[in-house]
Structure 1
Amino acid sequence: MYKRKYLIKGELQVPGDKSISHRAVILGSIANGRTEIVNFLDSEDCMRTVEAFRLMGVSIQKNDNVLIIDGKGLHGLVEPTMPLYFGNSGTTARLMLGLLSGLPFSTLVYGDKSLTKRPMERVIKPLQQMGVQTIGRKESNYLPLALRGGSLTGITYNIPVKSAQVKSALLLAGLLANGKTTVIEQGQTRNHSENMLKAFGASIEVEDNMITIDSSMSLKATDVYIPGDISSAAFLLAAAAIIPGSNLVIKNVGLNETRTGFLDVLTNMGGLYTLSNIRDSGGETIGDISITYNELTGTVISGEIVPRLIDEIPIIALLATQAKGKTIIKDASELRVKETDRIHAVVDVLTKLGANIVETKDGMEIVGGTNLTGGTVSSYDDHRIAMMIVIASLVTTDIVKVDELQSIAISYPRFMQDLESVLRKYVV
């Protein structure tokens, strides 16, 4: 790829947030009326959610970067005549399992090879307590799954893991259950579902880590603006943070406090960035991020901050290889059940590129100040590992060869084009 001959300069806007795009499609499809979603992320993952609702009778059209949904209402979806394919999208799978559990028909759902290996028990167990009937591999812990929904009863459920997907699945099921459903979290996770449910008129109450939703007669369509995805922006921000002479502005980025752990880590490591043009849209904070290169130092990442940056840990690990001192990442065992075992994948890739990094049970330890050397690596068919490799190639002394980059389209289809737009060759 690139080798160490470029710096980062310029201004751009990253695509819409993946998490919010999924949720906007789901709620727009079950609301009454027309919802227009501006800056929708047209990625492989999000389109799996779109296609699922089309198969259940929802009219969804795309006009430039606007997705237009004519909602069918809470009780207007029709039984799909074929299985629903969720591809690689864990978000689609877990959130849709929640919604499908409340619908009075049968559904068969499946995914690709990667998604078929990801555990669904954390979602299925509480949904079974609410009344859904399931048939699937290993006691319905893995896709493919067959569901017979309807006749749910609200429950109070303590989520044993920190997972916004489990929480969101239960809240969606709660929309269609008899009585109230209360979800109690171990600690705060991303709250896009709560924000959007409020915007669509759901009866929902949030008190600390306890969220209660009452079954609704209807949701009211509302237009949604999707802010730029901070998880995608993190890769470009990281490039500017570690390449001398770089400065970059990314506009209209989502700054929801449940998602800004990456920025907190940058601050702790000595990164130089500013936030400007901060505003609110539909309960989501949006703003511009300006970053300039500065020498970084190692840090410790653990505890409550981890759910706020779980998707950014691969690129944080790369930052740590270029920082002075030691960085310790722990309490991140959730990475083991992502698209791949991301702890192992990150350590394997960066080790092959010359980093001083070791794998631990729930994270990794990195000794920084390393000259990365290049080499041949695998992306593990994981979009975030693939993007980390591309950014790493900007600071290596030799060429990096990678088996595939197509997986990047899962979350950031125009990543390479955006990166190329802000690359500048060093002038000696």
Structure 2
Amino acid sequence: MNYVKITPSKLKGEVTIPPSKSLSHRAIIAAGFSKGKSVVENVMFSEDILTTCNAMEALGVTIEKKKEKNNTYTLIIEGNEELKLLNREIDCSESGSSLRFFIPICLIKENDVVFKGRGKLVSRPLDQYYEIFDKQGIEYSNTNGMLPLNVKGKLESGEFTIDGDVSSQFITGLMFTLPLLDGDSKIIINKKLESKGYLDLTMDILEKFSIEVINNDYKEFLIKGNQEYKSRDYRVEGDFSQAAFWLVAGTIGGEIDCLDLNSHSQQGDKEVIDIIQRMNGTLGINSDKIYASTTVTESTIIDASQCPDIIPVLAVLAAVSEGTTEVINAGRLRIKESDRLTAITTELNKLGADLEEKKDGLIIRGKKELTGGEVDSWNDHRIAMALAVASIRCKDEVVIKDSGCVKKSYPTFWQDFKKLGGNIHEWSMG
């Protein structure tokens, strides 16, 4: 078990934002489906991205890794149109994206495959796929609704009705798969669609790799069968879900330049810019970087439906802003790596904040400063990083239990925290 002890201090300097995890997943998969070689630059090997690479290699895709600066890699990916399953078991670790993307992908051809995972992923819902399996006669079994999941069969083209308010990952998994099947398909969205930004990223990657998806106002998606992915070179842009931690950190106590960000990005988590500005934060925005400096911020209403991943750190911002902030439409945060509504409420309140948990949101009454103390990450990378940012406005030291979980998405987070002047002491027990 890893711990960090943080002595509160302001952060100042430049930080190169890690490459987008969402775009990395998608580019690696699209390149793996393509005939010939693709070069995917600026990839960071977080646990989730390694999981997707391993899954592609299990399908016969060759991935050569070349180390570059800033702990990133260039991947030379030799696509495999055959997509033969070389390993019957796909270990998805704790990556929800990998699991939900690869379930349909592994059924492009007749296969008998077992999906494994650990942590909260074992119990995350897969009912959207089970309904498809039942309709198409695909055999499957699980353990009381949890992983491991055994699936045997082949996915057929046709109409697929997906609930839009559960996870866009199911839709993305189908978008990758359906173009390679015989026959045309349609994805019909039932209920209100959340996380549209993630589908925009999927469709953008698909278009770059020569796959067409017709978007009918996000209500249905038309996908022709027998399409071909075509190899290309692609550079992954900086991740706004990770930049959010430093943008909030600069806003509540520091001066931070966030480098390698695309201000015209389609990432849904780019909404952090609008929310900070709405709360009276001052951001300097250039074409490839954003500057955040200390401001007295004010309360607002935050709609989590399109940007659930940045809610933990926005809760930190609200906790030290004037007035009462309300987070709405946040029910899906309960089925992430932790129940993030309960986790962030519990741990920020330990630090002296005033958060009230609702069924699908939060009420956050702002204070000028927090106290400090010992908190738990809940083995959730975004909770750990949000609590680190909260330390900036604490009077006393902050100790974070299970701090190593950041490696899931941002393995160099503590290194960057130190680089910006953070005063931390790390140790391991057991």
| 1:291 matches 2:292 | yes
Q: Matched residue of 1:101: which SS?
A: coil
Task: Answer with 176-185 or 84-93: which moved more.
Answer: 176-185
Number of the residue aligned with 1:229: 239
**CA deviation profile, 1:26-46 (whole Å, cap 9, x unmatched):** 111111111111111211111
Which residue of 328, 351, 366 maps to 1:353? 351
Distance 1:256 1:292 in 2: 24
C-alpha change, 1:132 and 1:32, in structure 2 (3 Å) is farther
C-alpha change, 1:241 and 1:128, in structure 2 (3 Å) is farther
Number of the residue aligned with 1:175: 179
Which residue of 102, 109, 114 maps to 2:115? 109
Number of the residue aligned with 2:90: 84
| 1:399 matches 2:390 | no
Distance 1:408 1:127 in 2: 35
- Structure with bigger RCO (C-alpha 8 Å, 6+ apart): 2
Letter in 2 for 1:157: T
Matches within 5 A, 1:197-236: 197-209=206-218, 210-236=220-246
Aligned length: 406
Number of the residue aligned with 1:280: none
Letter in 2 for 1:393: S
C-alpha change, 1:128 and 1:35, in structure 2 (3 Å) is farther
Which residue of 244, 260, 264 maps to 1:252? 260
Distance 2:155 2:166 in 1: 27
Letter in 1 for 2:174: L
Distance 2:413 2:137 in 1: 42
Number of the residue aligned with 2:46: 43
Matches within 5 A, 1:29-428: 29-64=32-67, 65-73=73-81, 76-126=82-132, 128-129=134-135, 132-138=138-144, 141-161=145-165, 163-185=167-189, 186-187=192-193, 188-190=196-198, 191-209=200-218, 210-243=220-253, 246-254=254-262, 255-256=265-266, 258-277=268-287, 287-302=288-303, 306-423=304-421
C-alpha change, 1:307 and 1:182, in structure 2 (3 Å) is farther
Give the C-alpha shift of residue 129 in structure 1: 3.5
Distance 1:134 1:382 in 2: 29
Give the C-alpha shift of residue 118 in structure 1: 1.1
Give the C-alpha shift of residue 98 in structure 1: 2.1
Q: Matched residue of 2:83: which SS?
A: coil
Number of the residue aligned with 2:70: none
Alignment check: 8 A CA contact 2:6 2:399 kept: no
How much identity, in percent, do the aligned residues show? 29
Alignment check: 8 A CA contact 1:43 1:411 kept: yes
**CA deviation profile, 1:52-83 (whole Å, cap 9, x unmatched):** 1212221111101201110002xx12223341
Give the C-alpha shift of residue 142 in structure 1: 2.8
Give the C-alpha shift of residue 381 in structure 1: 0.3
Distance 2:7 2:379 in 1: 22
Q: Which runs of 4+ in 1 moved over 6 A?
A: none
Q: Which TM-score applies when normalising by structure 2?
A: 0.90
Structure 1 gap ranges (5+): 278-286
Give the C-alpha shift of residue 199 in structure 1: 0.8
Give the C-alpha shift of residue 181 in structure 1: 2.3
Give the C-alpha shift of residue 257 in structure 1: 5.3
Distance 1:131 1:170 in 2: 17
C-alpha change, 1:416 and 1:257, in structure 2 (3 Å) is closer
**CA deviation profile, 1:335-369 (whole Å, cap 9, x unmatched):** 00001100000000011111111110001101002
Q: Matched residue of 2:43: which SS?
A: coil
C-alpha change, 1:271 and 1:130, in structure 2 (3 Å) is farther
Alignment check: 8 A CA contact 2:197 2:267 kept: no
Distance 2:381 2:275 in 1: 22
Distance 1:107 1:137 in 2: 15
Distance 2:341 2:85 in 1: 39
Task: Answer with 9-18 or 406-415: which moved more.
Answer: 9-18
Distance 2:60 2:250 in 1: 45
Give the C-alpha shift of residue 332 in structure 1: 0.5
Computed over aligned residues only, the root mean square deviation of the Cα atoms, in angstroms, reads: 1.8
Give the C-alpha shift of residue 9 in structure 1: 1.9
Distance 2:33 2:388 in 1: 39
Q: Which TM-score applies when normalising by structure 1?
A: 0.90
Give the C-alpha shift of residue 8 in structure 1: 2.2
Give the C-alpha shift of residue 154 in structure 1: 1.9
C-alpha change, 1:170 and 1:151, in structure 2 (3 Å) is closer
Distance 2:400 2:281 in 1: 29
Task: Answer with 110-119 or 310-319: which moved more.
Answer: 110-119
